[in-house]
Amino acid sequence: MTPSSCAISLQGIHYAFAGNTVLNALDLKVESGEVVALLGPSGCGKSTLLKLLAGLLQPQRGEIYFGSQRVASANSMLPPEQRDLGMVFQDYALWPHMSVAQNVDFPLRMRKIPLSERQLRVRTALDRVGLTEMANRKPSDLSGGQQQRVALARAIVAGPQILLFDEPLSNLDSELRETLCREIAGLLRQSGTTAVYVTHDRHEAELLADRIVHLSFGAVSAIRTVTSSSGKST
């Protein structure tokens, strides 16, 4: 596969925090529209890998391509806001002083999209996550599951090419996890967005992903294609 034939290509990635190597000669390709779940023991570098993709960290060796565009190497770095991606974190990371609608609107304001289009897109995104009625509430007046839906709406509102998830459901109870996991799987399938989804939960990975990638000792140790009987296409 050439870099341009897939949505994401990581080639020979090396990353160390103050001399402690976390990722070493890591290679991974994600096809356009594919959902890859990233599993691995705590501390193996899953979040570090997502931060490299997001542009929050720069690799010390290797290259990252989105399509045919090189977005990062040891000498070059495209900033996060120019990478056309959305992120959903474990702790929701909502702005506490903004309403639900203002939180979801934030990426559109950053992109200087006209107000009328922003209003329409915010309404559509809130509708897709079932939060239309709560547009004017503050995040503190929502349950954990509802807050994570806001974060999801904010990640998808600008229609990014790539979505990155870092254990988005691990703060929720198991029933809600399953429901939201199925909703995220549906959203990803509907939009055809390429996604990398970090989780500790094999069941979540099976529900969502086309492929499950295991990380250990700083590199990909195994890749498994999820069959249609257990995977998201059921």
Residue 210 dihedral angles phi and psi, to the nearest 5°: -85, -35
Considering CB distances under 5 to 8 angstroms, the limit depending on partner class, which of Mg ion, ligand ATP, none binds residue 19? Answer: none
**Residue 47 is a binding residue for Mg ion (CB under 5 A):** yes
Considering CB distances under 5 to 8 angstroms, the limit depending on partner class, which of Mg ion, ligand ATP, none binds residue 48? Answer: ligand ATP
Residue 99 dihedral angles phi and psi, to the nearest 5°: -70, 170
| Sheet of 61-66, strands arranged across | 20-30, 8-17, 61-66, 69-72
Contact 102, 181 (CB under 8 A): no
**Residue 199 is a binding residue for Mg ion (CB under 5 A):** no
**Residue 209 is a binding residue for ligand ATP (CB under 6 A):** no
Cβ distance to ligand ATP smaller for residue 17 or 217? 17
Among positions 27-56, residues that touch ligand ATP (CB under 6 A) are 40, 42-48
Q: How far is 231 from 103, CA to CA, in rounded Å?
A: 32
Q: How far is 197 from 181, CA to CA, in rounded Å?
A: 11
Least CB distance to ligand ATP at residue 144 (A): 18
Instruction: Count interface residues toward ligand ATP (CB under 6 A).
Output: 10
Which residues of this protein are in contact with Mg ion, per CB under 5 A?
Answer: 47
**Could you list the residues that contact ligand ATP (CB under 6 A)?**
17, 22, 40, 42-48
